[in-house]
Amino acid sequence: MSAGTQRVLGREPGAQLAPLPLLDDKVLAMIIGQNPLACILHALCAEIERHQPGLLCSVLLLEPDGVTLRSAAAPSLPEEYCGAIDGAKAGPCAGSCGTAIYRKQPVVVSDIATDPLWVAYRDLALSNGLRACWSTPITSQDGTMLGTFAIYYREARIPDGQHLQLIVHATHLAALAIERDRDKTQLRAAEDRYRTLVESLPAITYIAELGANGPWHYVSPQIQSILGFSPEDWLKDPSNWMNHIHPEDREIAFAAEREFQKTKELFKAEYRMHASDGRVLWFRDEGVLLQAADDRALLMQGVLYDITEHKRLEEQLRHSQKMEAVGQLAGGVAHDFNNLLMLIQAHNERLRGRLTAGDAAHQDTIEIEQAVTQAATLTHRLLAFSRRQLLQIQVLDLNVVLVETGRMLERLLVPNIELRVLPDASPQLIKADPGQLGQVILNLAVNARDAMPDGGRLTIQTRCVELSEARAASHGAIPPGTYTVLAVSDTGTGMCSEVQSHIFEPFFTTKKPGKGTGLGLAIVYGVVKQTGGWIAVNSKPDQGTTFEIYFPRAEQGAGYTIPKPDGPMASAARGTETILLVEDQRGIRELVHEFLKRKGYSVLCAADGNEALKIAHENADTIDLLVTDIIMPNMGGQELADRLTQARPRTKVLFMSGNPDQASLSGRLGDSPATVLQKPFPLEILLQEVRSILDR
């Protein structure tokens, strides 16, 4: 306070103030009624002025910067004056109000005409007829400056006791009103922040009464983009929630609801819902109890997360894991089985060699051989499924395979089925085994036939498809690019989704015993996987079925050759070269050993890779050919071949296997494709192969 003002503070005789009984009532009512701040402050000033003629009030609000003052209410001050001081800055010499903020205490100026604090505003005030100004800071409960409350007079004057009381009273009310307003603004901002958050989450949030048919009080707008309902429509009908849950999942949702009503701890359930366009989506629903203020119905608030994509990936993973496990099992069994068949076949051959054509037992050996061939076909099928079969992978035109297989199909189908074979106009090059591919078409066609007992139409076509990034992703985990599609459609019985989820499993069949093996589609699956392709099934009960197989377009590359069992037999396949024979199955080792020896070769024998290397090391003579099994304990055939040919580059290699995994062989023998004999093989084939490799 300036020295000049101090003197004049005190009670002025004859300036009695009337009490203001209505001030509190009026202003408090407005605060509670949530009136706009400007209206409340205006009413506060006007009420004081009404009871105190000659007195002029103003309220200035301090901006968050702590120095700028804004006119908030001044019912009777000249407009020109109010406009001019709006935006004034607080400071050590800034009129009564600016200085009061600066000093954080009341500033009483009894005569503007002489007081040095008014130097900057003196002319403005005097020209507007203002002579005295007493200003007091308005502060919040925690002491923050909110603004100023000022009383003006048109003549020089000092406040009396009642004035001082009035000032205390008015600043108190103003502080209350301003603080309330700030709280409200802050609350609104916080609310806006939460609303933005809630409404931009990729999930639906809701508030609903407890109970399966409890009315929903709020649902976030995402319900439109996720489920296709407007929030208004959804809230209208309390039964919407239950009605849109997939019928099979309603019990799950009910049970979770009942549990929640009991424990009131956490509502948690996963279920499917129908969107407005019929799509079925998976949701995880999690909710908590909202504390009700009174004893109205209990409310819960929760979030519905759309987990459809997650579920799809999970299912895909589960399925491929299962297929992998079954594949490994089948492959393992087939491997051991092939070794046994090899033994049976070789002993049978030897037996027949001792018999003459007229012998009664001769026919038996032929029967045994046929049974072995059939058994070998079965193991080959299992291997095809488990992706462990040796293949004649080559670049081929799918159209050619389709037309060839199509001719065969005509014989297979019944007359009331119309067959349409529609190869694409341009060649459809893919990399596959032609025999297996024919098998795929055949298996799919036979299934289509079985699905049309009363006749119908079977369409098989090829076409080229460009899969964009987005479409490839929607098809599962296949990379985008160009694919050759083989589509097999029928107008038959179709399948429900439950059957569809099992069809690729080996031995899954819905056919009568003796009618179906359940291996058809398992083989298709294995073959398609082997080519890097992918299968799409589209089927609904009574609406037919379409299988679409996506094959990657071909690139040229070296493959593996497998000798044709029905190739011409070399009669003079004998020889005198040295062969290192490596085989862990003793029976087979002895058999092959004896056989090759009889054909003139000198044979060294080993039970695994380590032993073979040792023998080679001890043997200074040339080893012309290594004949080795692929899968053996200690050291496998692959590594053995690599190490042996490094030390002896002129040694040639022939692999034998009951379970050759192609991938493990790829690229290991330089540019020339490795020759692999798949067990069981006739010994004559071995002989022929040995000769042709040695003569190469």
- Segment contacting Mg ion by CB under 5 A, of 354-362, 441-449, 477-485, 656-664: 441-449
By C-beta, is 34 or 510 nearer to Mg ion? Answer: 510
| 469: Cα separation from own chain's centroid | 15
Pick what 302 binds: Mg ion, ligand ADP, none; C-beta below 5 to 8 Å, kind-dependent. none
Minimal distance, residue 545 CB to Mg ion, in Å: 12
By C-beta, is 392 or 517 nearer to Mg ion? Answer: 517
Pick what 493 binds: Mg ion, ligand ADP, none; C-beta below 5 to 8 Å, kind-dependent. ligand ADP
Minimal distance, residue 461 CB to ligand ADP, in Å: 15
Tokens of 522: 């398992």
Report the SS3 class of residue 553.
coil
Alpha-helical runs (H) found in 431-477? 434-450, 469-474
Minimal distance, residue 665 CB to ligand ADP, in Å: 29
Minimal distance, residue 535 CB to ligand ADP, in Å: 11
Report the SS3 class of residue 332.
helix
Residue nearest to ligand ADP (CB): 520
CA angle 157, 161, 167 (to 5 degrees): 80
Integer Cα distance of 43 and 430 in angstroms: 87
Pick what 517 binds: ligand ADP, Mg ion, none; C-beta below 5 to 8 Å, kind-dependent. ligand ADP
- Segment contacting Mg ion by CB under 5 A, of 64-72, 515-523, 532-540, 623-631: 515-523
Q: What is the DSSP string of 574-625?
A: ----EEEEE-S-HHHHHHHHHHHHHTT-EEEEESSHHHHHHHHHH--S---E
**Is 447 near Mg ion (CB under 5 A)?**
yes
Burial class (CB in 10 A: 0-12, 13-18, 19+), 286: middle
Report the SS3 class of residue 432.
strand
Minimal distance, residue 401 CB to ligand ADP, in Å: 19
By C-beta, is 447 or 651 nearer to Mg ion? Answer: 447
By C-beta, is 456 or 587 nearer to ligand ADP? Answer: 456
Minimal distance, residue 443 CB to ligand ADP, in Å: 6
Minimal distance, residue 502 CB to ligand ADP, in Å: 8
**Is 494 near Mg ion (CB under 5 A)?**
no
Minimal distance, residue 263 CB to ligand ADP, in Å: 44
How many other C-beta atoms can be found within 10 angstroms of the C-beta atom of residue 499? 13
**Is 520 near Mg ion (CB under 5 A)?**
yes
Minimal distance, residue 447 CB to Mg ion, in Å: 4
* 368 membership: H or E segment, kind and range: helix 360-386
What sign results for the dihedral spanned by CA atoms 68, 74, 77, 83?
Answer: positive
Of the candidates 605, 483, 608, the one whose C-alpha atom is nearest the C-alpha of residue 551 is: 483
By C-beta, is 281 or 326 nearer to Mg ion? Answer: 326
How many other C-beta atoms can be found within 10 angstroms of the C-beta atom of residue 307? 15
Residues binding Mg ion: what is the number (CB under 5 A)? 2
By C-beta, is 245 or 451 nearer to ligand ADP? Answer: 451
Pick what 495 binds: ligand ADP, Mg ion, none; C-beta below 5 to 8 Å, kind-dependent. ligand ADP
By C-beta, is 36 or 453 nearer to ligand ADP? Answer: 453
**Is 657 near Mg ion (CB under 5 A)?**
no
Minimal distance, residue 443 CB to Mg ion, in Å: 6
User: Hey, what amino acid is at 495?
Assistant: M
Minimal distance, residue 322 CB to ligand ADP, in Å: 15
For 633, half-sphere exposure in the C-beta direction (CA atoms, 13 angstrom radius) is 3
**Is 493 near Mg ion (CB under 5 A)?**
no
Pick what 491 binds: Mg ion, ligand ADP, none; C-beta below 5 to 8 Å, kind-dependent. none
Find out whether 685 and 677 touch, Cβ atoms under 8 Å.
yes
What sign results for the dihedral spanned by CA atoms 434, 438, 443, 444?
Answer: positive
For 124, half-sphere exposure in the C-beta direction (CA atoms, 13 angstrom radius) is 17
First to last CA, the chain: 117
Pick what 492 binds: ligand ADP, Mg ion, none; C-beta below 5 to 8 Å, kind-dependent. ligand ADP
Integer Cα distance of 549 and 463 in angstroms: 11
* Furthest C-alpha separation in the chain: 154
Alpha-helical runs (H) found in 104-246? 122-127, 161-200, 222-227, 231-236, 240-244
Of the candidates 639, 668, 637, the one whose C-alpha atom is nearest the C-alpha of residue 654 is: 637
Minimal distance, residue 520 CB to Mg ion, in Å: 3
Pick what 518 binds: ligand ADP, Mg ion, none; C-beta below 5 to 8 Å, kind-dependent. ligand ADP
By C-beta, is 448 or 677 nearer to ligand ADP? Answer: 448
By C-beta, is 219 or 440 nearer to ligand ADP? Answer: 440
Minimal distance, residue 434 CB to ligand ADP, in Å: 21
Which residues of this protein are in contact with ligand ADP, per CB under 6 A?
443, 447-448, 451, 490, 492-495, 499, 503, 508-511, 516-522, 545
By C-beta, is 546 or 602 nearer to Mg ion? Answer: 546
Q: What is the DSSP string of 465-534?
A: EEEPHHHHHHTSSPPSEEEEEEEEEE-S----HHHHTTTTSTT---SPTTT--S-HHHHHHHHHHHTT-E
By C-beta, is 434 or 520 nearer to ligand ADP? Answer: 520
By C-beta, is 346 or 495 nearer to ligand ADP? Answer: 495
By C-beta, is 301 or 509 nearer to ligand ADP? Answer: 509
- Segment contacting Mg ion by CB under 5 A, of 79-87, 283-291, 332-340, 440-448: 440-448
Residues that bind Mg ion (CB under 5 A): 447, 520
